Amino acid sequence: MIDFPESTKTNRRIPKEAFYKHLSLSTALKSKFVSDISRIVAENSLTQRNLNLAKDSEIKEILLLSIELKKQDYEQRIIEAIAKGNPHKLVFLMSYEDQRQLAVYYQKLYLTEWILEEKVELHLSGDNLEDIWNGLVRQIAIGPDAQSRSNMSLDDQLSRLDEIRQLQQRIKKLEKAVWGETQPKKKFALYQDLKKQKEQLEVLERGQA
């Protein structure tokens, strides 16, 4: 469940046209707004006041936007455009039928897998909005237990995540190359490279890099 206090609820519908007026969008992307999005609702507004936080921060507000989709295979650049063009920090809850997906923009767009509504988890942790924001980014980009598993900074965690994903892609390509290679020497060399990459991946996933 999304564990946000009652004091933060707004449940305010935002017309799609409100985004058209303030965002610099191509004609193609504007058409995607119409074809992909059914409605946008500001579900929660997180502020120092309504969360009764003792400490102030440069971040003044975090909004949870619920976006009801007309199709599951939506144009993700829409989310990037909304996030980049908004002065507030935004967390997105994408909805299509009984499926949900969380998204957040932090230097780039991070998305969770599609899951059932009852399995969506998002919790607040921290004594100021900056810590809360970093925690939300961690949960969406890395996983629900990211904070408890590591003492690394958010940027370092995301950098390691990128390394892991790049290694995973490299390993997939090498596995395909190994199975497709017929010359023994080349096959052995590819296998050794594959073994090395897998060992490196294991180290990164254990958090020892």
Q: Distance of alpha carbon 101 from its chain centroid, rounded?
A: 9
CA-to-CA dists, residue 19 to 34, 83, 95, angstroms? 12, 11, 19
| pLDDT, tens digit (0-9, with 9 covering 90-100), for 147-189 | 555 677 888 888 888 888 888 998 999 999 989 989 989 989 9
Looking at residue 209, what is its pLDDT? 43
| pLDDT, tens digit (0-9, with 9 covering 90-100), for 7-65 | 999 999 999 888 777 788 888 888 888 899 999 999 999 999 999 998 899 999 999 99
Looking at residue 162, what is its pLDDT? 85
Task: Give me 37's structure tokens.
Answer: 């999005």
Cβ(164)–Cβ(205) below 8 Å: yes
Looking at residue 149, what is its pLDDT? 56
89-96 and 62-69: which strand pairing?
Answer: parallel
pLDDT band at 208; cut points 50, 70, 90: very low
Looking at residue 85, what is its pLDDT? 87
Give me the percent of the chain exceeding a pLDDT of 70: 96
CA-to-CA dists, residue 165 to 17, 73, 83, 104, 110, angstroms? 37, 22, 24, 18, 13
Looking at residue 7, what is its pLDDT? 96
Looking at residue 145, what is its pLDDT? 64
pTM of the model: 0.81
Task: Give me 45's structure tokens.
Answer: 């507004």
